[in-house]
Structures are given as C-alpha cells and as structure tokens.
C-alpha cells in the first residue's frame, strides 16, 4: 500500500491508484488554482484537458496519468 505526501500530509492509497484519485481521497479533489483564483479539478480523466496538473517530486505532471508510488511528493499549490 503506497504512502505519498499530498501537500505535506501523509496519505495511504491502494495499489494502482492514480494521483487524481488520491487528490479526491485526501484533499479537495483539485489539482491546481487558476490564474483567476478558482480551484480546478480533473475533468476528462485521460490527459486531454490538462486540468489535473500537479507537481510530483518537483516536476509538473498530469495526475490522471500518474500512478501513486511509495514516497511520492505531490503539491497542488492550494
């Protein structure tokens, strides 16, 4: 069972969980804040909309296309 850090908080998820699902389980479900200040959540679930962009281990990634792994650090800049 992988344990990741989501915005500085530890979160355990089931094996095979993607980061977008972890956002829903451990936070507000959103991955970023728009330039106008609105929280944005995954929309398409397959990487087309790019609304699920988060920082994972220091690099911008799509949460819906990234599987959680033990020790991963995810930042949503909430």
Domains within the chain, CATH numbers bracketed = 3-75 (3.10.20.30)
What distance in Å separates the CA atoms of residue 44 and residue 2, rounded to the nearest whole number? 25
Tens-digit pLDDT profile for residues 28-43: 899 888 889 999 999 9
Provide the β-strand partners of residue 40: 32
As a whole number, mean pLDDT of residues 53-73 equals 97
Instruction: With beta carbons less than 8 A apart as the criterion, state whether 56 and 67 touch.
Output: no
Q: Is the pLDDT of residue 78 over 80?
A: no
C-beta separation of 23 from 75 below 8 A: no
């Amino acid at each position: 069972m992988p344990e990741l850090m989501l915005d500085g908080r530890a979160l355990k998820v089931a094996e095979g969980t993607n980061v977008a699902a972890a956002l829903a389980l451990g936070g507000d479900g959103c991955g970023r804040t728009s330039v106008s200040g609105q929280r944005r959540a995954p929309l398409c679930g397959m990487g087309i909309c790019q609304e699920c962009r988060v920082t994972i281990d220091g690099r911008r990634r799509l949460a819906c296309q990234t599987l959680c792994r033990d020790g991963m650090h995810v930042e949503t800049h909430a």
